[in-house]
Amino acid sequence: MERGLSGTTVRSPRHVAPSGSVARRNRRGGRSRSAGDRGGGRRDIGRSIGFAWGRTSRTRSYARLVLGLVVLAGLIAAAGVMQVGRALPKLSLRYSLPATAVVPGAAPLMPWPAVGEAAVAVPALGVSLSSPGSHAVPIASVTKMMTAYIVLRDHPLAVGAQGPSVTMTSGDVGVYSNDVALDESSVPVNAGESLTERQLLEALLIPSANNIANLLAIWDAGTTAAFVAKMNATARELGMTATQYAGPSGYNPGSVSTPADQIVLAEKAMEIPAFAAIVDKPTVNLPVAGVVGNYNVMLGHDGVVGVKSGFTAQADGCLVVAATSNIAGTKGLVYAAVFGQLGMNPLGAAGSGTRSLVDAARSGFTHYRVVVGGDHAGDVQGRWGGRTHTAGVVLKSSASVVAWPGEVVRLSETHRNLIPGQMRGSTLGDVIVQLGTQRLTVPLLSQSRLPKPSLTWRLTRL
């Protein structure tokens, strides 16, 4: 407000109160602007709500996409794990060594007797040789080896033990008297005399008593016929195909065999300690007979430790011997058998024949290298991806045996579980080299890392 020159007060136009109409218009205008403002606010809110709704929809779509991708990735990962977890293709070992190997060289000429039958064997080294044209012949008291073998099999006797006792009867005395009348080998017995199993076996195998052979047969089987049936059944079990027994003593010429068959039996009998101990005795002292000697003329000479002699008019001189040996470091027994020897001293002739065969057998062996370390022995193979994958297999070391020229050495293979990817030099199995009782094991080694499918192939295979 300004003061005028006349002293009156004049209001500024800007501050003049509006007229009523103007004021009313102003108020309407004011109300009108307020409504407009309210309408604009509603439009702003709608725009905000729409924007928010659209943003929420886009967020949901994005979330669904992410979830789908996560699920897809999980399925792919699960499928990959399943693929990788599937069993790998199996590997196989293709073994390339031969199943047998023949020892090279010419076999030594054997000193076979001019007459009769003969055989020699070194079981520990796998050698068994027979004279040309050898066939079954009467074997006299060599038969008693089978009698003793069956008795000891049915009534085992520990080394040093006497075993059960058998009391002699008047019938046993009568058998002895009959044998003496027939000029059979026998030992005297008295009624009421008691002999242990060991004493009976000593009388059977050392002085070769026929009367004791019959007594043991009845003691074991009830009758001699039943015992003879056992003898023949046992011969079949042992593979003695050329052998037939007709009695427990060998006096009956119907008991026939070959030297090779009797060596088979001698080897089995010598595995029984009680048998081996008895046949190694040069003499024995029996209650009534007293001291009696062993008819094996070779016992105690050249390492001979048994086993049985025999003589009859039909069989002539027969002898089976077992002699200790150490051939190229391999210890064992050499067996020789000679039947049908003639002359003034047929048992002496049989002894000379067995000695020659034992000496020849001891000197006829050689060292033979069967396999050589580092040599290729096969391949490990696996097939996938349309082709075959291989890794070589080699022998870790060499293997040699003591052998007779012409012998057949046997080779076999065993392998372990083959794992794809095994490192070079892994042991995959063994080669077994066998001749007689010689058994050598040579490991098989991988020459390179064993084949293994790639991860790509494992993931993509059908």
- Among 169, 167, 148, residue whose Cα is nearest residue 157: 148
> How many residues would you count in the chain?
462
User: Structure tokens of 70?
Assistant: 């996560």
- Among 244, 242, 239, residue whose Cα is nearest residue 228: 244
- Number of Cα atoms under 13 Å in the Cβ half of residue 232: 12
Contact 311, 338 (CB under 8 A): no
Instruction: Tell me which of 9-23, 158-172, 300-314, 377-391 is least confident.
Output: 9-23
| Neighbouring C-beta atoms of residue 90, cutoff 10 Å | 10
Query: What letter would DSSP give residue 160?
Result: T
- Give the pLDDT score at 37: 53
Categorize the per-residue pLDDT at 451 as very low, low, confident or very high, splitting at 50, 70 and 90: confident
The whole-angstrom separation of Cα 416 and Cα 198 is 50
Contact 150, 352 (CB under 8 A): no
- Give the pLDDT score at 46: 55
Contact 388, 411 (CB under 8 A): no
- Among 357, 200, 201, 166, residue whose Cα is nearest residue 276: 201
Query: What letter would DSSP give residue 116?
Result: S
pLDDT digit string, tens, across residues 358-415: 999 998 898 999 999 999 999 888 777 767 788 889 999 999 999 999 999 999 999 8
Residue 431 has pLDDT above 80, yes or no: yes
Residue 36 has pLDDT above 70, yes or no: no
- Give the pLDDT score at 314: 95
- Give the pLDDT score at 7: 43
At a CB cut-off of 8 Å and minimum separation 6, what does 125 contact? 327, 330, 332, 365, 402, 403, 404, 407, 435, 436, 437, 438
At a CB cut-off of 8 Å and minimum separation 6, what does 170 contact? 191
Contact 276, 270 (CB under 8 A): yes
Residue 38 has pLDDT above 60, yes or no: no
Categorize the per-residue pLDDT at 76 as very low, low, confident or very high, splitting at 50, 70 and 90: low
Residue type at position 412: S
The whole-angstrom separation of Cα 301 and Cα 298 is 5
Give the pLDDT mean for 28-42.
Answer: 51
Residue 60 has pLDDT above 90, yes or no: no
The whole-angstrom separation of Cα 420 and Cα 245 is 60
- Give the pLDDT score at 230: 98
- Give the pLDDT score at 159: 81
Residue 440 has pLDDT above 90, yes or no: yes
Q: Helices 197-205 and 210-221 meet at what angle, rounded to 10?
A: 140
At a CB cut-off of 8 Å and minimum separation 6, what does 180 contact? 186
The whole-angstrom separation of Cα 117 and Cα 122 is 18
Give the pLDDT mean for 177-193.
Answer: 93
Q: What angle do CA 279, 285, 288 make, to 5 degrees?
A: 125
Of residues 114 and 94, which shows the higher confidence score?
Answer: 114
State whether the Cα torsion 359-362-366-371 is positive or negative. Answer: positive
Residue 436 has pLDDT above 80, yes or no: yes
Give the pLDDT mean for 159-183.
Answer: 93
| Residue 285, strand partner residues | 291
- Number of Cα atoms under 13 Å in the Cβ half of residue 267: 23
Residue 19 has pLDDT above 90, yes or no: no
Ordered alpha helix ranges (H), 197-345: 197-205, 210-221, 224-237, 259-270, 273-279
pLDDT digit string, tens, across residues 96-112: 999 999 999 988 899 99
- Give the pLDDT score at 8: 43
